[in-house]
């Protein structure tokens, strides 16, 4: 007998006991309390004007309808570069949890973590049970496709709103993401939705069939492909769309866990080779293999900020080094 929805594990990681549920942050992070995410700074002028020059307090709110957590740079906030990050569906599976897992504290930039649609504060009616039901019924048409599409579409307005709220300078930005969040980052690059000059992705979603294959194996189910789901898979096939990603030759780091799903590992290898063949400067594409790292980057449930795991710390260091090397300050 197939296990009940309540007994099912998360859609990707095999050790996750339940999908992430929305929760008000209560933990501390870097010795500062997290702000109430339901009290955004809209209409209050530049937030960093009210912060002390040494404050690294995370800022949470909503920008153009998108929940976010922002980590400020230690100084020169008006001219610091910006990195936009999307979380996983597996732990860490909210913007605040992703900020704790990959804070990139040593990189003097604004780090903006955007919440994915259908997660965290935007779970569908019925919460995690309903999200699980939708995902198991049709992961392509009910979950992966809608999240990728909406997250990429809403990114420009959300970034513009945060720039206004936090008075962040315009200019080229970096993007980062894990798993499905990595797919969002690639869609943003391929579509030219934001002026991306640098990207760093960990265990990224590259092709829809690979994500579906992982679900089939984890849950012992068979997915019946249709014309509609094949069309969605074609749109979000970033191996096939490598030419679009390579157009502006953003410096792109791929971090692949040695214990990630085999399909994801193979896709990362293939994407690295494909992009390298298209870039004039091969050094701007790099694949880093992280020993022993599984798909997830935090311990379950991964909803709230939590202590950084060993593997997350390794990814954090790799991302920090890559952005420090490739992302310059905007002109002022």
Tell whether 332 is covered by a domain: no
Tell whether 331 is covered by a domain: no
Instruction: Count up the domains in the chain and report the number.
Output: 1
| pLDDT (tens digit per residue) in 231-264 | 999 999 999 999 999 999 999 999 999 999 999 9
| pLDDT (tens digit per residue) in 138-189 | 999 999 999 999 999 999 999 999 999 999 989 889 999 999 999 999 999 9
Decide: residue 237, CB within 10 A, 0-12 exposed, 13-18 middle, 19+ buried: middle
What does the pLDDT read at residue 328? Answer: 77
Give which of 185, 17, 176 is closest to 91, Cα–Cα.
17
Cα 316 to chain centroid distance, Å, stands at 13
* CATH number for 319: 3.40.50.1820
Give the alpha-carbon dihedral of 228, 232, 237, 241, to 10 degrees. Answer: 110
In a 3-state reduction of DSSP, which class is residue 148?
helix
- According to DSSP, residue 67 is labeled E
Tokens 């999908």 sit on residue: 19
* Confidence band of 331 (pLDDT split at 50, 70, 90): low
Give which of 64, 72, 74 is closest to 46, Cα–Cα.
72
Tell whether 252 is covered by a domain: yes
Domain ranges, residue 172: 5-326
**248 and 279 Cβ atoms separated by less than 8 Å:** no
Tell me the residue length of the chain: 332
**98 and 83 Cβ atoms separated by less than 8 Å:** no
The whole-model pTM stands at 0.86
Cα 63 to chain centroid distance, Å, stands at 17
Give which of 113, 115, 90, 89 is closest to 102, Cα–Cα.
113
Tell whether 268 is covered by a domain: yes
Facing residues of 211 across strands?
none
Tell whether 250 is covered by a domain: yes
- According to DSSP, residue 254 is labeled E
Six token digits for residue 154: 């809403």
CA distance 147 to 118: 7
């Amino acid at each position: 007998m197939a296990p009940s929805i309540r007994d099912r594990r998360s859609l990707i990681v095999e050790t996750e006991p339940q999908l992430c549920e929305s929760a008000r942050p209560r933990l501390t992070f870097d010795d500062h309390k997290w702000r109430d995410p339901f009290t955004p700074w809209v209409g209050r002028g530049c937030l960093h004007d009210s912060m002390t020059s040494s404050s690294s307090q995370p800022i949470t709110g909503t920008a153009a309808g998108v929940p976010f957590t922002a980590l400020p740079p230690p100084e020169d906030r008006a001219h610091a570069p910006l990195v936009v990050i999307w979380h996983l569906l597996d732990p860490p599976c909210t913007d605040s949890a992703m900020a704790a897992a990959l804070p990139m504290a040593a990189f003097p930039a604004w780090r903006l973590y955007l919440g994915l649609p259908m997660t965290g504060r935007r779970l569908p009616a019925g919460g995690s049970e309903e999200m699980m039901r939708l995902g198991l019924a049709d992961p392509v048409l009910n979950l992966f496709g809608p999240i990728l599409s909406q997250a990429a579409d809403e990114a420009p307005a959300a970034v513009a709103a945060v720039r206004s709220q936090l008075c962040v300078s315009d200019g080229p930005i970096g993007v980062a993401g894990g798993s499905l969040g990595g797919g969002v980052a690639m869609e943003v690059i391929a579509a030219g939705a934001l002026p991306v000059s640098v990207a760093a992705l960990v265990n990224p979603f590259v092709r829809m069939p690979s994500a579906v294959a992982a679900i089939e194996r984890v849950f012992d189910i068979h997915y019946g492909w249709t014309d509609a789901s094949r069309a969605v898979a074609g749109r979000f096939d970033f191996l096939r769309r490598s030419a679009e990603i390579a157009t502006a030759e953003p410096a792109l780091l791929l971090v692949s866990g040695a214990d990630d799903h085999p399909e994801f590992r193979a896709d990362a290898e293939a994407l690295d080779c494909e992009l390298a063949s298209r870039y004039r400067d091969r050094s701007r594409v790099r694949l880093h293999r992280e020993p022993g790292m599984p798909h997830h980057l935090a311990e379950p449930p991964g909803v709230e900020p939590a202590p950084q795991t060993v593997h997350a710390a390794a990814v954090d260091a790799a991302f920090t080094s890559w952005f420090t090397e490739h992302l310059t300050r905007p002109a002022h």
